[in-house]
Amino acid sequence: MREREIEEYLRKRVKAAGGAAYKWTSPGNSGVPDRIVIFPGGWVVFVELKAPGGKPTKLQEVQHKRLRALDCDVRIIDSKEQVDDFIKELVG
């Protein structure tokens, strides 16, 4: 399974659960997570998507560390099952 398939699945599942999954690109800030996921009630989560078994690059790890230092929730998801678990955790 490819990363883009998991990303599309995430987008659809988040929308079906009443949230939004914005694609994040930040010129001059390479390595930012792929999606900013927002759910009603103020839940905001930065999501890095990977193909199954994939790991973040060093640059992505740096960006994740910066976001976590700002008390942001950063997740790494590499399967449809993890997408489902993520949705259940946040919206039940």
CATH of the domain at 27: 3.40.1350.10
pLDDT tens for each residue of 79-92: 999 999 999 999 87
Entry pTM: 0.94
pLDDT tens for each residue of 70-81: 999 999 999 999
Query: Which DSSP state fits 72?
Result: -
- In angstroms, rounded to a whole number, what is the distance separating the alpha carbons of residues 2 and 78? 9
Torsion angles phi and psi, residue 46, rounded to 5: -90, 125
- Please give the mean pLDDT across all residues of the chain: 96
Tally of domains in the chain: 1
| 86: nearest Cα among 56, 54, 45, 55 | 45
Domain interval for residue 87: 3-91
β-bridge mates for residue 45, sequence order:
37, 73
pLDDT tens for each residue of 23-52: 999 999 899 999 999 999 999 999 999 999
Share of the chain above pLDDT 70, in %: 100
Q: What pLDDT, on the 0 to 100 scale, is given for residue 1?
A: 85
